[in-house]
Amino acid sequence: MTRSFDIVVVGAGPAGIAAACAAAEQGRRVALLDDNPAPGGQIWRGPSTAHRDAVSRAKERWLHRLQQNPAITSLHGCRVFDVPGDGLLAAEQNGQRVDLRYSKVVLATGARELFLPFPGWTLPGVYGAGGLQAMVKAGLPVRDQRVVVAGSGPLLLAVAAYLRETGARVSAVCEQASWRSLLRFGASIAHTSRLWQAAGYRWRTRGTPFHAGCWPVAAHGGKTLESVTLSNGTRQWTVPCDLLACGFHLVPNTELASLLGCTLQQGFVTVDALQQTLIANVFCAGEPTGIGGLELSLAEGEVAGLAAAGAIRAAQARIPRRDRLRAFAAQLAVTFALRQELHSLSKADTIVCRCEDVTWRTVSQYTGWRAAKLQTRCGMGPCQGRICGSALNFLLEWSPDSVRPPIFPVSIASLAGPTASAPAELSAIQEN
Amino acid sequence: MTDTVRLTVNGRALTVPAGATVAVALAIAGAACRTSVSGEPRAAFCAMGICFECRAIVDGGPHQRTCQIVCRDGMEVRTE
Ligand SMILES: Cc1cc2nc3c(=O)[nH]c(=O)nc-3n(C[C@H](O)[C@H](O)[C@H](O)COP(=O)(O)OP(=O)(O)OC[C@H]3O[C@@H](n4cnc5c(N)ncnc54)[C@H](O)[C@@H]3O)c2cc1C
Ligand code: FES
């Protein structure tokens, strides 16, 4: 099946929702598609909690604006995996292939967490930081569970606050960045509402020790997690826990942008003042252009949606506000830069590639990604190197290999073309 | 609409809150989702459809990312 739209927006997080609304309000026919079962992206996932803050108010406002616009067709559980031709995207929904024709496309594919391999990180009970939050939002009960939250980035405190409110006993929050960087960051945002937001999270996690300059070095357990060893560089100590929520800030999802031929700089998609990439008719907004949080994603989404709809004046009017928010993104990158000590987190028999169980001993013998892939299958499993590739980019400074379709494993029938229809039984993991 | 959903995990009946994902059902059942190439038990990790650790067989369909699938009444889930 092939469907045609004026504008196709890939990703229904804040950036994609803002882009879709802005474009549809200019009279364009818009498709908004997302892999998840519902719109909202990472931050607006699942039902709202009892705690009413700026985030949940923005969520209600934007979801209302989205739902009441009949010019937007929302496609959920729908994942773009290929670019079969000019102005065309191939997606899979419910095991069926759907092709989407567009005049303009907005890439709002967001970010994923950066995970670094350490001994024990493959044990059941070890989750990403946002990962555990997403599980709880999806119904996982954590009442009275002992949780350690560790890694890096502003997400840690948000996750800890959320877990506390859902009944978990959060025994520690460990941020690898030093107190010095955090205080400098605090001073730089002192004149903005963000300091209040940070202070709010800290208030909601009062009673839970917050360690700066501290990171996890090993997780222990038999079949599931039992404890985690933490380090501050001079001392190590072990904390018993049922769950570990651990992520080292975010990396952008740029696979689709790469497949479309967009230019990346230092891992991020290059865009002009109107969020247009160097490829004609392709716009990009939100985390793929830089990690800057909710407000920047919304601001970029609006500019991209308006520009894609041809409302250039309206788009230009929003540029100054977006640029102010970008300054904050630059601060984030400096504050949460990863420390040198993390380069030695992986030990010889630590599994680096979770799909193919390739260890650090094996993979670190190679000089680059391509050779390691060919010789060890590292990065050749179904995640296609999204976990180990990002880790090795940090650990060994390996630059990513070129992106080839399909960017996600799909059924053989979907690969074959848009007219074929496949029963679910036929779906198989396609390894490239 | 009821506020719980009944499904089976490896043949055993399980009740979960409505809206729960299959990955959550597996965690509640205390079941690892799959066994890795070298024989380790693995369960959901990223919860956002990226890592593929939560793969299991859902209603006969193998290799399903259970963190992206919402439980439905009568669903049959098997670990891989
Ligand atoms: C796991 C996680 C949890 C987070 N939790 C918080 C929090 O609690 N508080 C906070 O302030 N910030 C949080 N953040 C940061 C937050 O992501 C940003 O502030 C904001 O949500 C970014 O919005 P976005 O629209 O750019 O991207 P996202 O919200 O990431 O949205 C991108 C969407 O695109 C979809 N997508 C990507 N590729 C494809 C494709 N090929 N086909 C179809 N769909 C696709 C993704 O599934 C996703 O839904 C979190 C980030 C992550 C990764
Ligand atoms: S837990 Fe990572 S894909 Fe489902």
Domain that holds residue A377: 346-396
Positive/negative CA dihedral, A156, A158, A163, A165? positive
Any domain includes A144 = yes
The arithmetic mean of pLDDT across residues B3-29, rounded, is: 96
- Judgement on whether residues A323 and A351 belong to the same structural domain of the protein: no
Q: What is the pLDDT of residue A237?
A: 98
A111 lines ligand 1 (CB under 6 A): yes
Any domain includes A11 = yes
A290 lines ligand 1 (CB under 6 A): no
Tell me if A47 and B19 make a contact (CB, 8 A cut-off).
Answer: yes
Q: Which atom of ligand 2 is nearest to the CA of B46?
A: 2
Question: Are A133 and A125 in contact, with CB atoms under 8 Å apart?
Answer: no
- Judgement on whether residues A96 and A139 belong to the same structural domain of the protein: no
Residues of B within 8 A of A132 (CB-CB) are: 47
Boundary residue ending a domain (A197, A215, A248): A248
Any domain includes A423 = no
Residue A321 belongs to domain with CATH number: 3.50.50.60
Minimum-distance CB partner of B16 among A46, A139, A427: A139
Short-list B24, B45, B23, CA closest to A117: B45
- Judgement on whether residues A100 and A157 belong to the same structural domain of the protein: no
When divided into structural domains, chain A yields a total of 3
Provide the number of CB pairs (under 8 Å) joining chain A to chain B: 117
Q: How many Cβ atoms sit within 10 Å of the Cβ of residue A401?
A: 15
Give, to the nearest 10 degrees, the angle between helix A14-24 and helix A294-308. Answer: 30
Q: What is the pLDDT of residue A124?
A: 97
Quick one: fold of B4-78? Answer: Ubiquitin-like (UB roll) (3.10.20)
Any domain includes A99 = yes
Any domain includes A427 = no
Residues of B within 8 A of A429 (CB-CB) are: 55, 62-63
Q: Which atom of ligand 2 is nearest to the CA of B52?
A: 3
Any domain includes A401 = no
Interface check A223 vs B, CB under 8 A? yes
- Report the helix count and the strand count for chain A, using DSSP H and E: 14, 21
The string over A163-176, giving b where at least 16 C-beta atoms fall within 10 Å of a residue's C-beta and e elsewhere, is bbebebebebbbbb
Q: What is the pLDDT of residue A421?
A: 46
Element (H, E) at A321: helix A319-335
The residue among A413 and B25 whose pLDDT is bigger is B25
- Express each pLDDT in A85-141 by its tens digit: 999 999 999 889 999 999 999 999 999 999 999 999 999 999 999 999 999 999 999
Q: Rounded CA gap, A181 and A213, in Å?
A: 10
- Judgement on whether residues A299 and A391 belong to the same structural domain of the protein: no
Tell which phi-psi region holds residue A233, choosing left (phi > 0), alpha (psi between -120 and 50) or beta.
left
Ranges in chain A, pLDDT < 70:
48-51, 195, 419-432
Question: Are A209 and A147 in contact, with CB atoms under 8 Å apart?
Answer: no
Q: What is the pLDDT of residue A50?
A: 59
Chain B contact probe: residue of A42, A48, A354 with most B CBs at under 10 A:
A354
HSE value, Cβ hemisphere, 13 Å, CA-based, for A361: 6
Spacing, Cα B27 to ligand 2 middle (Å) = 13
E strands in A153-277: 169-175, 210-212, 215-221, 225-231, 236-240, 243-248, 250-252, 264-265, 268-269
Q: Which atom of ligand 1 is nearest to the CA of B49?
A: 47
- Express each pLDDT in B35-77 by its tens digit: 999 999 999 999 999 999 999 999 999 999 999 999 999 999 9
- Judgement on whether residues A236 and A136 belong to the same structural domain of the protein: yes
Any domain includes A288 = yes
Boundary residue ending a domain (A333, A356, A371): A333
Name the residue with tokens 């709002």: A108
Q: What is the pLDDT of residue B4?
A: 95
- Judgement on whether residues A307 and A318 belong to the same structural domain of the protein: yes
Alpha carbon of A83 to those of A110, A255, A278: distances in Å?
19, 11, 17
Short-list A321, A307, A305, CA closest to A21: A305
Q: What is the pLDDT of residue A37?
A: 85
Spell out the domain ranges in chain B.
4-78
The string over A41-68, giving b where at least 16 C-beta atoms fall within 10 Å of a residue's C-beta and e elsewhere, is bbbbbbeeeeeeeebeebbeebbebbee
Residues of B within 8 A of A141 (CB-CB) are: 28
- Judgement on whether residues A163 and A235 belong to the same structural domain of the protein: yes
Short-list B54, B46, B48, B52, CA closest to A379: B52
- Judgement on whether residues A21 and A79 belong to the same structural domain of the protein: yes
Any domain includes A18 = yes
Spacing, Cα B44 to ligand 2 middle (Å) = 5
Q: What is the pLDDT of residue A367?
A: 93
- Judgement on whether residues A361 and A380 belong to the same structural domain of the protein: yes
HSE value, Cβ hemisphere, 13 Å, CA-based, for A75: 22
Short-list A129, A130, A114, A153, CA closest to A335: A153
- Minimum-distance ligand to the CA of A163? 1
